[in-house]
């Protein structure tokens, strides 16, 4: 089913808007950043927006991001679902959606990416590591994900994203505070110190029920694995189904102290 594309939020900024935005009784500055904008200015902008937009809806947060960054804004997606991509496409049709193809994904994940590209008004950009899995095996030995998952994630996720975000000033994620203790303090807009970019998490305050309701209302594409016991979908060798009572990310790197791949922590 092709997701519906509701009208933009009344009064919210659009690409190319400048000046002052009167939003929820407050005046906010809406200005499109340029390559001349310094890291210090971007950081201050992110911190201020995080405070101003804490109680804003996901759509309003994305409207702000699009109005502020224009084409220097992108969405990243693991293709667990297309909720943030769908939200962003309402604010900016044809928005760039960045996907990391690690070489270890489930077939269902690649299929979800292909479906998103086919039916949604987005521009899917697939990033790949510099080495194929075979080349990595030749240099580091087979099954690096079992022996040194941090290095594997660095080579197949962190470094490709670092390179792929070149040219963008801000990126959006699907992080939610309810997913795990490590994500409990995720700001809706914050400063990504590692990459020196503004990081937007428009659904940070959502619950799984909110996600499910949005998917149902708008017919948003989801990864079939979510209906097969997987609450969080990553690379196949490092992802298992979750048991009753476990948090959503308990199936990632099960049995290890590792809880994040390095993209968000």
Q: How far is CA 125 from each of CA 35, 68, 158, 262, rounded to the nearest angstrom?
A: 22, 22, 16, 20
CB atoms within 10 A of CB 134: 9
The pLDDT value recorded for residue 5 is 32
**Domain range spanning residue 89?**
19-227
Angle at 204 between CA 77 and CA 11, to 5 degrees: 95
Q: Is 74 annotated as a binding residue?
A: no
**Residue 84 placed within a domain:** yes
**Residue 263 placed within a domain:** no
**Nearest residue to 116 (alpha-carbon basis) of 215, 208, 220:** 220
Can you give the CATH number for the domain in which 174 is found? 3.40.50.620
d(CA 17, CA 137): 49
Query: Could you tell me which residues come within 8 angstroms of residue 86 by beta carbon, excluding any fewer than 6 positions away?
Result: 3, 120, 218, 220
Q: Is 261 assigned a catalytic role?
A: yes
d(CA 117, CA 130): 23
Q: Is 153 annotated as a binding residue?
A: yes
Indicate the number of domains in the chain: 1
68: left (phi over 0), alpha (psi -120 to 50) or beta: alpha
The pLDDT value recorded for residue 84 is 98
Of the candidates 170, 261, 262, 265, the residue annotated as catalytic is 261
**Residue 261 placed within a domain:** no
Helix (H) or strand (E) holding 89: helix 83-91
The pLDDT value recorded for residue 16 is 38
pTM reported for the whole predicted model? 0.83
Burial grade of 236 (CB within 10 A; 0-12, 13-18, 19 or more): middle
**Residue 80 placed within a domain:** yes
Contact predicate 215/70, CB 8 Å: no
Helices 39-52 + 58-69 axis angle, to 10: 160
**Residue 139 placed within a domain:** yes
**Residue 5 placed within a domain:** no
Contact predicate 126/99, CB 8 Å: yes
Please give the distance of CA 23 from its chain centroid, rounded to a whole number: 25
| Dihedral angle computed from the Cα positions of residues 171, 174, 175 and 180, in that order, rounded to the nearest 10 degrees | -150
In order along its 265 residues, the chain shows pLDDT tens digits of 333 333 333 344 443 343 344 445 444 445 568 888 899 999 999 999 999 999 999 999 999 999 999 999 999 999 999 999 999 999 999 999 999 999 999 999 999 999 999 999 999 999 999 999 999 999 999 999 989 999 999 999 999 999 999 999 999 999 999 877 888 999 999 999 999 999 999 999 999 999 999 999 999 999 999 999 888 898 998 888 887 776 666 766 555 654 555 565 5
**Residue 170 placed within a domain:** yes
**Residue 236 placed within a domain:** no
Q: How far is CA 70 from each of CA 89, 174, 226, rounded to the nearest angstrom?
A: 12, 19, 32
């Amino acid at each position: 089913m092709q997701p519906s594309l509701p009208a933009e939020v009344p009064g919210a900024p659009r690409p190319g808007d400048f000046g002052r935005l009167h939003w929820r009784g407050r005046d906010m500055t809406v200005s499109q950043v340029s390559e001349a904008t310094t890291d210090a200015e971007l950081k201050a902008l992110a911190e201020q927006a995080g405070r101003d937009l804490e109680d804003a809806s996901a759509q309003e947060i994305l409207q702000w991001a699009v109005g502020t960054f224009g084409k220097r804004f992108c969405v990243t997606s693991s293709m667990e679902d297309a909720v943030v991509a769908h939200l962003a496409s309402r604010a900016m049709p044809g928005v760039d959606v960045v996907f990391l193809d690690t070489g270890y994904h489930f077939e269902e994940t690649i299929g979800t990416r292909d479906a998103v590209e086919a039916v949604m008004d987005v521009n899917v950009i697939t990033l790949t590591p510099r080495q194929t899995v075979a080349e990595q095996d030749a240099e580091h030995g087979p099954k690096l994900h079992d022996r040194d998952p941090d290095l594997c994630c660095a080579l197949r996720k962190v470094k490709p994203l670092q390179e792929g975000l070149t040219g963008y000033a801000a990126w959006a994620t699907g992080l939610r505070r309810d997913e795990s203790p490590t994500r409990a303090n995720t700001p809706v807009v914050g400063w990504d110190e590692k990459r020196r970019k503004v990081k937007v998490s428009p659904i940070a305050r959502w619950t799984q029920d909110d996600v499910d309701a949005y998917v149902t209302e708008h017919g948003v594409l989801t990864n079939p694995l979510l209906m097969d016991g997987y609450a969080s979908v990553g690379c196949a060798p490092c992802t298992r189904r979750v048991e009753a009572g476990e948090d959503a990310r308990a199936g990632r790197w099960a049995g290890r102290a590792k809880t994040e791949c390095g993209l968000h922590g």
